[in-house]
Structure 1
Amino acid sequence: MAVNRKAACINRLCITPKELNSRIGEFGHYCPVCLALFHHLVDCSETADLTHAAEYKKFYYRLCGGNHLEIFLSNPDEFLAPCCPYNLPEPHLLPRKLTELQVKNKFPQQIELKGFCPVTYKDGNQRYESLVRGLMQYAVEYKEKLYLFETKEKQEKFMRTPELYCDQKLPCKVPPLDEPVPPTSLPTLGYLEQGVAEPVIKAMTAVGSLKPKYPFVSVKRSALVYVAFYLKAFNQKSTGCLRQKYKKKLASFEENCALITYLSSAMTGAYKPPGERPIDFDFKLNRFLALGAPGATDAL
């Protein structure tokens, strides 16, 4: 701990978060050296450890790194009131990161700059090419206004110097919004192309390769049923149980289609007594004949 009014590092002194917050200094979790030397707001609250923290006159101070810790320890009064050149703004005037859910809960409040990243625009000399959309995951609230940023790095840059980027005006001409087009608003062919084209192509490829012919069912109906089973068996939006159910139906359908090829090759030539037939011949023949019974294929 600090002795003789000198600042000291408090790393590894087992200070609890509750104690830290109860004795935090006038700059809160912001680095006083960054504020004094560069007028930067550097929030250290996201760092859990106290490797770069100090005690001075019974108060705790957070520093952003080892270099600034050493600078603070050498002359703490230079960075504290009344000697510090800048005061920390009031809590409601500090920038605050928001989650996507918090941004959505702000509705109907509008995003500033129509959602364009203020840091990219400012650093790009406010050219048209520098108008880049920000992302909801990199949102900041500052002075009751909402801003979105292109990357986390640019979000952090705004957090350090928000006044540099907050008061900007967009030009009259801005890039068009990249709003997603609802598939249901498309014409029928466009809807099918965007919504089911890929699975349908896979199903058509599979049916074209297999060329199924179900016993006692036309070729056309055999192909349609196979495509229906295939689409349901590989529908990624269905539950796992439902997909598994139709994968079994698809496998059974393929086995029944294979009966025709098997029996046509096994039944060529002269009659063979039961003892000379293939082991599974009678089973497959009975299975084939059962599919020809009245009502056997009505479920297809």
Structure 2
Amino acid sequence: MIVAELELDTVEVLKRGLVDKMKINKPHPMHDSSEILHIRNSCYKQEVEHVRQHFQQQYQNWIQLDGLKSKWWIWNSIIKEVSISMKYIHSYLERMGSRQAACINRLCITPKELQYRLGEFGQYCPVCLALQYHLVDCSETAVLTHAAEHRGRYYKMCGEDHLERFLVTPDQFVTPSCPRTLPEPHLLPRKITESQVKKRFPQQVEMKGFCPVTYLDGRRRYEALVRGKMEYAVEYRERIYIFETKEKQAKFLRIPEAYWDQKLPSKVPPLCEPVPLTSLPTLGYLEQGVAVAVIKAMTAVGCLKPKYPFLSIQRSALLYVAFYLKAFNHKSTDYTSQKYKKKLALFEENCALIPYLTSTMRGNYRPPSERPIDFEFKLNRFLALGDSPGASSVL
């Protein structure tokens, strides 16, 4: 089963609703006014989020298509998706009938069923473990593009190449023929967050906070003693390690045995005391604290050059920067960020009314039948902004 969603913005929905409203031969009266359509569209967008999330998480069969494309393009796109799914289903049934391993992609397998039928390697790639003795955890990849079924059990591979090798000779990579087995759960490395590291206090990080991967790959030289970052932390054998980069954290997760048991030299670089942000002078405080965010906001306002109806250019630019900073503040909650992103989008739509009306109202008078479909709607929206207290009231 595939669920297809056609994506359309509110303005396009109202345009198409107005076209349907102007049709003469209707079988029965309908509630198709602009207000009703706007309410129905708002309710749809609110409810579809939960439905979309459910199908994406549980069945991975939700596809989104551009509703502005032609009906032939949409039809061909859906036929293409259905054909791909049918190809996987036919291949699965054929290989299962021949008692061969088969890919389980696009079979709408839920996470609960996957977890219940996982093989002895769990979410780790059995091919990497057998060929390289690498612990490659595939749990962060929700899609089953590289997953297969063999003897009623599910196995996840790290890529297309390893999936093909598993499908050809699956017995080579599973018990009892596999050369290596998965270590016990307490011997498996796992990522931990910065807050989890802090909760483990007074336990200290190993190697005094230096990155074990950088140190060993740098041939244990003094220059290779680089401090790790708390955001890249791993727990292994009840010890905590922190790493310089995400790539080096991933390398440790693959082959922890090579890096975990190292000794530091007697002489190590001194610990640099962090400088409190509030102790910097005003210019330095702004540079270190908000420079990047302000530069991005100024770049955005410079590219858009917004002019809000009935407000000056200066105030329009200031309001846009304020909305932008609130919408993309990484310290805000998801709810707050989403709220101000919607307000920013609404602000941009209102700013776009001026160039639209300017280009549309040029030349001689045109009767209503010759005007664009959304002209009346946007003109009334523009005039209504003159009676409102202004965009600053929603900050």
Q: 1:20 aligns with which of 105, 114, 136?
A: 114
TM-score by length of 2: 0.47
- Note the C-alpha offset of 1:7: 0.1
| Cα displacement (A) at 1:159 | 0.3
For residues 209 and 126 of structure 2, what CA distance do their matches in structure 1 show?
A: 32
For residues 29-84 of structure 1, give each alpha carbon's deviation from its aligned partner in whole angstroms, at most 9, with x where no partner exists: 00000000000000000001000000000000000000000000000000111111
Question: 2:163 and 2:104 mapped to 1: Cα distance?
Answer: 11
How far apart, CA to CA, are the structure 1 residues paired with 2:215 and 2:153?
40
Give distance in 2, aligned partners of 1:159 and 1:27.
Answer: 15
Which residue of the other structure, out of 123, 130, 137, is the alignment partner of 1:29?
Answer: 123
CA distance in 2, matches of 1:132, 1:10: 43
Q: What is the aligned counterpart of 1:109 among 203, 206, 212?
A: 203
- Which secondary structure state, in structure 2, belongs to the residue aligned with residue 114 of structure 1? helix
| Aligned amino acid, residue 143 of structure 1 | R
1:61 partner SS? strand
Match for 2:210: what amino acid? F
* AA partner of residue 63 (structure 1): M
Evaluate the alpha carbon distance shift between residue 45 and residue 174 of structure 1 in structure 2; reply closer, same or farther with a 3 A threshold. same
Q: For 1:50-89, what aligned pairs fall within 5 Å after superposition? A: 50-89=144-183
Aligned partner of 1:7 in structure 2 is: 101
Q: How far apart are 1:196 and its partner, in Å?
A: 4.5
The number of aligned residues is: 192
CA–CA distance in structure 2, aligned partners of residues 79 and 132 of structure 1? 38
Stretches of 4+ moved more than 3 A in 1? 194-200
CA distance in 2, matches of 1:199, 1:170: 36
What are the residue-to-residue correspondences of 1:79-158 with 2, within 5 Å? Answer: 79-158=173-252
Which secondary structure does the structure 2 equivalent of 1:55 belong to?
strand
SS in structure 2 of the partner of residue 138 of structure 1 = strand
Distance 1:157 1:84 in 2: 23
One-letter code aligned to 2:261: D
- Residue type of the partner of 1:164? A
Shift of 1:181: 5.0
Unpaired runs of at least 5, structure 2: 1-91, 286-395
Query: Deviation at 1:111?
Result: 0.3
Q: Once superposed, what is the RMSD of the aligned Cα atoms?
A: 1.9
* Equivalent position of 1:40 in the other structure: 134
Q: Which whole-Å CA distance do the structure 2 matches of 1:160 and 1:98 have between them? A: 15
2:97 aligned counterpart, secondary structure: coil
User: How far apart, in 1, do the equivalents of 2:158 and 2:231 lie?
Assistant: 24
In structure 2, how many angstroms separate the alpha carbons of the residues matched to 1:58 and 1:110? 44
CA distance in structure 1 between the aligned counterparts of 2:246 and 2:281, rounded to whole angstroms: 35
Return the offset for 1:3.
Answer: 2.8
Q: Structure 1 residues 119 and 198, CA, compared in 2 at 3 Å: closer, same or farther? A: same
Unmatched tracts of structure 1, length 5 or more: 184-190, 201-300
1:117-173, Cα deviation, whole Å (9 max, x unpaired): 000000000000000000000000001000000000000000000000001000000
Cα displacement (A) at 1:197: 5.2
**How many angstroms apart in 2 are the aligned matches of 1:38 and 1:195?**
50
Counterpart residue identity of residue 181, structure 2: N
2:125, 2:110 → 1: CA distance? 19
Aligned-pair identity in percent equals: 68
Change (3 A) 1:6 1:176: same
After TM superposition, the structure 1 = structure 2 runs for residues 106-255 of structure 1, keeping only pairs within 5 Å, are 106-180=200-274, 194-196=279-281, 198=283
Q: 2:269 corresponds to which letter in structure 1?
A: P
d(CA) in 1 for partners of 2:281, 2:206: 37
Partner SS for 2:158:
coil
**Could you tell me how far apart the structure 2 residues matched to 1:73 and 1:197 are?**
62
1:122 aligned partner, one-letter code: L
CA-to-partner distance for each residue in 1:92-116, whole Å, 9 max, x for gaps?
1100000111111111101000000
1:76 aligned partner, one-letter code: P
